[in-house]
Structure 1
Amino acid sequence: MHKEKAGRARRWGAAMAALLFAGVAGSATPVASPVTGEAVAGASLSEWTARWWRWADAQRVPPYLDPDGRLCELGQEGPFWYLAGTNGRFAPNRECDVPEGKYLLLPIINMAYYQLDPDLPCAQMQAGAAVNNEHLLSAVVVLDGQLLGDMRVHRVKSPGCFRMDPDDDTSRLAAADGYWLMIKPLSRGRHTIRVGANYGAPGDEAYGHMQQSFEYVLHVGTRTQVTQAGPLPGAVAAR
């Protein structure tokens, strides 16, 4: 991306995040968290985040480019329903139908570092995935109008490096680091999740100042309201 255009995109993302934070400050109050840190289906949150990256990498269109919820059902299986953030260049409003009884795995803001050089050690990949997460400026998650507490305590690192294809010993390795929520299955009906977060790492124009600002309307078990999403100015189709 051209430097001037990239600067405009960052300013636009910052403005969207500021609006979200202002709305939260004016309308939401802390509430007992529906978040769990317990293992689900025998796997830790760290393992589930690795599975999230595999899921995102395997789809025909990256789920984080979803403009309005049309990609919600891609690759969904098992006890989790994977939600997605963005590539930091647009602020989507997504609407999804979610089966009852599903845990929600929500990325707040995160990074993965892939092994492009076969000689690159795992420790270096872990350091690459961590660098921006050491500089989290702010992170807010609101569920049905209620704040879900301090997001800084929800940082999750991969304990080592993982294969993008667990069944192929020659597939590329990756390390992941970031902020995630594992949300317990929600009650039947309509729910809204809003996320705003940003990094402030020095000297990295690509991701060190990344912004996340997105919203999900989830119809759990039944659709109680149908809305038509319009075009999203500024959305990108690829990175």
Structure 2
Amino acid sequence: MTGVTIVGFDADDTLWHNERFFQDTQARFTALLADHAEPDHLAERLLAAEKRNIGRYGYGIKGFVLSMIETAIEVTDRNVPAEVIERLLDAGREMLAHPIELLPHAREAVESVAASHRVVLITKGDLLDQERKLAQSGLGDLFDGVEIVSEKTPARYAEIFARHGDGPGHGMMVGNSMRSDVVPMIEAGGWGVHVPHDLAWDLEHAETPVSAPRYRVLDDLGGLAWLIAQVG
């Protein structure tokens, strides 16, 4: 057996918008603490808190809000007003309730690939929030499987693509994150397809595997069916 038989799709900022809500909330966070820290310094402190807390809280909105609160406590020397904490919690609730907006060609791409291949959604983040977004997206019935994981690693991809299909050697992972979607899938022996998004979280950057024979890049999901046909 040769060729691609199973395709994995990332969710956030691959199928629907996500990062822009984080950046909008971070702008509100910056404004709330403007009297205590310069924007660049505050952004550095928040990013450091997020990186430090991934192992505790995982990925997603809840961990982001807790990291904002932690940073606010730090930069105000524990004198952050209760109103600021309240407004950060409100911002988190708004993010958790925000309606889903599909990216261009998302539905057509999943439908087209699902007609001839097994398709699996593979995403990081909070379980309840990711389930909510998938339900609201209207794409749930198109997938043969859904995997909500704490990290995307070569070993995790190998296990998922073996359990849902013919192994990573016959698999393709499609996503906007070089660090999470592309590089580890290629290291697992599969195809890694990068579909860049205009906005990207700093912690998702990684060196582009330009020399890897199974690395591909698409401007948007509209070219995915053609690419799969080309690589077999």
Task: With the length of structure 1 as denominator, give the TM-score of the two structures.
Answer: 0.25
Task: With the length of structure 2 as denominator, give the TM-score of the two structures.
Answer: 0.26
Bigger strand share: 1
Bigger helix share: 2
Q: Rg bigger for which structure?
A: 2
